[in-house]
Amino acid sequence: MKLATAVVGDDTIFGVVQGDRLTDLRGSFDDIVSLLELSMTESGRSTIAESLDGAPVVSLSDAAFLPPIQAPKRILCVGTNYSAHVAESDTVTEAPGHPMIFTRFASSLVGHNVPIERPHVSSNFDYEGELAIVIGRTTRYADRESALGAIAGYSCLMEGTLRDYQRHTKQFTPGKNFERSGSWGPWIVTADEVGDPYALTLSTIVDGAVVQSAPTTKLIFDLEAIVSYCSTFTTLEPGDVIATGTPGGVGYARDPQFWLEPGMTVTVEVPGVGTLTNPVIDEVL
């Protein structure tokens, strides 16, 4: 099933997307994270399905998408996790020995169809399309065998990056956290519906042109390794988000370099998961 959060009129609602409708489940559940937790079991999914009967329904045309989870406790990101991205990098010469982890703040991400903003202090605004995984159960020191079982669902994430600020020091944080510079959504597709996460292909499209494309089989550190590693240094909790890395084809590595500008449209597409689209505008001060 597809779990989403949206604004309808003056209300923020969450629930299940079916076709062109969103069923509002606020009357049955505390929040969208509780839906994620239930989705981890067949009985939990049955509970969600039963709650759909008689619940209010709104048209997606009347809904403005928010990030599926508005304020995740953790948003972790994996850097240089596709070989083609390592090869085009001028700061990393070989695949890292461990996952390269950094964080994003919730304030840096908007929802589907919401403009992403190029800050006025930089024109080096780059795209990074990624598959995001969302944790569904509390997990610490996961081994490979149990790691996939911690994942409740999958989503699309556009990790907009200000390359000059990323390169100010060896720490990525400034370049990755300008407000409203990235996005994720439009929903979370539960793991049972996705099936094999290694049968997915990720593409990034700018103004109709494919600029990145790779199957998830090309991940250097697979999902099991990512969850296992992250759960060693922090307890992963339901609703935590991990962006798994971007393929080759980013703008800074092109000749000439290619930056996002106001008026452009960026799409991250993962068939079987979703299509996340955002127009680019100048920062709203």
Looking at domain 75-282, its CATH architecture is: Alpha-Beta Complex (3.90)
Q: What is the pLDDT of residue 91?
A: 72
Looking at residues 180-204, what average pLDDT do you find?
98
- φ/ψ (deg, to 5) at 162: -95, 100
- Residue 205 confidence (pLDDT): 99
Q: Across residues 144-158, what is the average pLDDT?
A: 98
Residues 6+ apart with CB under 8 A from 230: 76, 99, 101, 236, 242
Average pLDDT over residues 32-44: 98
Domain boundaries of the chain, sorted by first residue: 2-65, 75-282
- d(Cα 153, Cα 203) in Å, to the nearest integer? 19
198, two tokens: 């290694």
Look at residue 42 and tell me whether its pLDDT is greater than 90.
yes
- Output the six-digit token pair for 76: 């972790």
Q: Angle at CA 218, nearest 5°, toward 258 and 132?
A: 75
- 92-103 pLDDT, tens digit per residue, is 767 779 999 999
Q: For residue range 117-132, list pLDDT tens digits in order.
A: 999 999 999 999 999 9
Question: What confidence score (pLDDT) does residue 93 get?
Answer: 67
The whole-angstrom separation of Cα 209 and Cα 40 is 37
* 113 pLDDT higher than 80: yes
Q: Residue range 5-11: average pLDDT?
A: 98
Whole-model pTM? 0.96
CB crowding 100-134: b at 16 or more within 10 Å, else e: bbbebebebbbbbebbbbbbeebebbbbbbbbbbb
Are the C-beta atoms of residues 266 and 204 closer than 8 Å to each other? yes
* DSSP SS3 for 107: helix
In this predicted structure, the answer to whether residue 27 has a pLDDT above a threshold of 80 is: yes
Sign of CA dihedral 248, 249, 251, 256: positive
**Given a cut of 80, is residue 192 above it in pLDDT?**
yes
pLDDT of 95 reads 75
Say yes or no to pLDDT of 88 above 90.
no
